[in-house]
Chains A and B, each alone.
Chain A
Amino acid sequence: MKQKSKSYYTLFALTLFIITFTAWALLSFIRKERNIAANFAESTEAKYAAVYDALQSATRRSDRALIRTSALELRLAEKTIAVFKLRDSALILSDTPIIKGVKSFEAILDKETKNLIHIKLSLSDPDPGHPPFATSFALRGLPL
């Protein structure tokens, strides 16, 4: 009887271990997702991906762009839907930093098409081998 209760204790301990392990795995996953969402990403690759996603999402919904020094305002039917600006070495989108450690952010409206924005961004401390982020996004004016 005593032996049997001992094995139950073992089973209980093992179950507890599994639960703790699963909880740890889930928590680390959530924390990772949150970190990505808050964009406290460390690598240049992750930073570029965060900027790319934010710009793609915003430009798809916009039909007009206002470009100021180190700031890009995207609009849909005269309503501002996104503002990207450089403040204290961080690229800010709607008061939330997308990425930190930014040296420069440049937006240029294409002279020919008028609905294409050329984006260039360079980081203060990029991983070795990475050129500045440079690509273009077309304004499409899709509804919200």
Chain B
Amino acid sequence: MIQDNNVHIQKQTVLALSEILTSLVILSFSLFPIAYIVSVLRYDPKSTPQEQSAFLFANSVFQQIIAKRANNPEFLPPHLPRTPIIDENGNPDSFFFSFLGGARTDENAQLAAASKNFNYQLTTYFVKKNVFKVSIELTYNDGEKITPYIYEKLFSQQ
């Protein structure tokens, strides 16, 4: 009788343990999507100051094209070879720095210093009839490696 009881208790314990193990398996599976959500939420891509500057420069060029085309629908952006934004003598490129409004303040000097290692190249080509693409390639040379940042925008020819 006592032996029967012991066997019964052992069976119960095994059953309880298997239930706990099953629940742990379910839990581990259910934790996976939660962990995935947390990892997605925590994903915080840090862009470098150079990348941000390149993005703002490219946006500035695209907006200038939009503004000029609003005034003159025939306007097409020029084809420009690779040119340094700040040349060897420290002079800023006139096309690129037209967005500074001409005045050279201390902050413009800061901006000029940050743009020192940038080169830019502007390419315009027709994708199909009435549609052209403007591509701007900015390359940042930090002395060790050259990092390219390429931005493209489609424009419709009216």
Contact = CB atoms under 8 A, between A and B. Distances in A.
A131 B100 contact: no
Contacts of B143: none
Interface stretch (A82-90, A94-102, A114-122): A114-122
B70 A115 contact: yes
Contact of A131 (B41, B59, B98, B110): B110
B59 A135 contact: yes
Interface of B: 12-13, 15-16, 19-20, 23, 27, 30-31, 34, 37-38, 41, 46-49, 52-53, 56-57, 59-60, 63-64, 66-68, 70-71, 98-101, 107-108, 110-111, 113-115
A120 B100 contact: yes
Contacts of A29: 37, 41
A3 B15 contact: yes
Interface string A26-45: 00110010000000000011
- Interface SS, A side: mixed
Nearest to B50: A129
A82 to B, nearest CB: 17
Interface of A: 3-4, 6-7, 10-11, 14, 18, 21-22, 25, 28-29, 32, 44-45, 48, 52, 104, 106, 108, 110, 112-116, 118, 120, 122, 127, 129-140
B107 A120 contact: yes
- Interface SS, B side: helix
Contacts of A135: 56-57, 59-60, 63, 99
B111 A138 contact: no
A113 to B, nearest CB: 4
A5 to B, nearest CB: 10
Nearest to B38: A25
14 contacts: A11-B19, A18-B27, A25-B41, A29-B37, A29-B41, A45-B52, A115-B67, A120-B108, A131-B115, A132-B110, A135-B99, A136-B64, A137-B63, A140-B66
